[in-house]
Amino acid sequence: MSEMKKIKNLKEFSTSADRFEGANLLCPGCAHSIIVREVLNATNDDLVLAASTGCLEVCTAVYPYTSWDASWIHIGFENGSTAVAGAETMYKALKTKGRLKQPDRTPKFVAFGGDGASYDIGFQWISGCMERNHDMMYVVLDNEVYANTGGQRSSSTPIGSSATTTPAGSISYGEKINKKDMMGIMGAHHIPYAAQVAPNKWKDMVKKIQKGFATEGAVFINAVSPCTTEWKFDPKDTMHIADLATDTLVFPLYEIIDGRQYNITYRPKNVVPVEEYLAAQGRFKHLFKDQYKYLIKEWQERVDENWAYLQRREEAKV
């Protein structure tokens, strides 16, 4: 195991030499790249990266340009996880066989995918990688929508969100089905480490990513990624929306150790009403019409209930 990079504070973190480059094609204000930077800058070890088809992939490797300073692979929409698992398996084989070119390195294997690639089309591939416990990290850039194809609902899209395939209209409030509990499902794989993170809580994120890198075996990370284009807010407000996501507890930050031990890692001093989170985004605008206002109340109840559940799980240590 390599020595963990020392990151006491933001000043120290800012001495990192990024291994992800600008002039990529992501939207101005996209949270994906903020998350990617925080993940990559959490280590100085060599990296072997993969991405499933999606915003991050189509915006960072459009020939003849690459925005990646470490080896990177994309195969298809569903198999970024398995791409990196294959590379990790080859690393193990070549290590055993004494054929690594730089045997002293301690590379980290990381795959990125959007919620479409992770909650939906690539779900089985991720499940396989986690079950086989490859020494890898899978990071979901969870923007709760198929953003790359223009805003269709995914199984991560929350109730009441207007997506292009579940549009709000005169007789519809948009998405009717609640977001899939991917963290719970990954926890049920009894992988050594799973965590939910948010880019605005950089320290919490870096700590978890470092914990993930130090873990031998499969690591799952779900990162909330506010999407200026599909959530419909001004690009400058990305971090403000992320703050609302964590401080309303819509995206609680926690980790699951070995599928059993839940640890809540962030308890907002002042919990913000969910209504403020919803009001800040165009995708929920219709909920503020009289006929749908009851949904805002239901939203708050769901978030409260989930927070209570997480606390019970944490306390019960089971």
Partner 1 sequence: MENKGWDEFEIGAMLRTFDGSVDNIAGTKQEDRSYSENSSYRASVADWRLIKPVFNKDYCIDCQFCWVYCPDVSIVSRDKKMVGIDMDHCKGCGVCVEVCPTNPKSLLMFGEHADEETEIAQWPSKDEEK
Partner 2 sequence: MAFDKMKLRDIEVWDGNFAAAQALRQCQVDVVSAYPITPSTAIVEGYAKFKSDNFVEGEFIMVESEHAAMSGCIGAAAAGGRVATATSSQGLALMSETLYQASGMRLPIVLNLVNRALASPLNVNGDHSDMYMVRDSGWIQFDAFNPQEAYDLNFIAFKVSEDHDIRLPAIVNQDGFMTSHTAQGVATMDDDTAFGFVGTYKPMNDMLDFEHPVTHGVQTEEDWHFEHKARQHNDLMTKAGPKIDEVFADFKKLTGRKYSQVETYDMEDADVAVFCLGTSVETAREVAKEMRTRGIKAGVVGLRVIRPFPFAQVQATLKDVKAVAVLDRSSPNGAAGAMFNEVTTAMYSAENSPLISGYIYGLGGRDLTKVHLVDLYNELDTNVKAGKVTTPLQQFIGVRGPKLAYL
Residues contributing to the site for partner 1 (CB under 8 A): 10-26, 28-34, 37-38, 43-46, 60-61, 63-70, 199-200, 202, 228, 234-240
Q: Rounded to the nearest 5 degrees, what angle is found at the Cα of 315, between the Cα atoms of 193 and 242? A: 60
Shortest spacing between CB 33 and partner 1, in angstroms: 4
Instruction: Note whether 49 and 112 are within 8 A (CB).
Output: yes
Cis status, amide bond into 252, omega within 30 of 0: no
Closer residue to partner 1 in complex, CB, 25/177: 25
* Residues belonging to the chain: 318
Quote the tokens at residue 313.
């799980």
Least distance CB 195 / partner 2 (angstroms): 24
User: What minimum distance in Å lies between the beta carbon of 63 and partner 1?
Assistant: 6
User: What angle, rounded to 10 degrees, do the helices at 123-131 and 80-96 form?
Assistant: 30
Between the CA of residue 37 and those of 30, 75, 101, 200, 244, what are the distances in Å? 12, 22, 27, 12, 21
258 within 8 A of 197, measured Cβ to Cβ? no
The verdict on 48 binding partner 2 (CB under 8 A) reads yes
The region of 124-132, 137-145, 227-235, 266-274 touching partner 2 under the rule CB under 8 A is: 124-132
Tokens 């749908």 -> residue: 292
Q: How far is the CB of 121 from partner 2 (least distance, A)?
A: 11
Contact 19, 221 (CB under 8 A): no
Contacts (Cβ under 8 Å, ≥6 apart) of 279? 288
Name the residue nearer to partner 1 (CB basis): 7 or 129. Answer: 7
- For residue 191, the partner it binds in partner 1, partner 2, none, with Cβ less than 5 to 8 A by kind, is none
- 78 near partner 2 (CB under 8 A): yes
Q: Which is nearer to partner 1, 7 or 303 (CB)?
A: 7
137: tokens are: 């990290």
Closest separation in Å from C-beta 75 to partner 2: 5
Task: Kindly state the smallest distance separating residue 94's Cβ from partner 2, in Å.
Answer: 6
Q: Considering beta carbons, is residue 25 or 93 the nearer one to partner 1?
A: 25
The binding site for partner 2 (CB under 8 A) comprises 46, 48, 50, 57-58, 61-64, 66, 68-76, 78-79, 82-94, 96-97, 99-102, 105, 107, 124-125, 127-128, 131-132
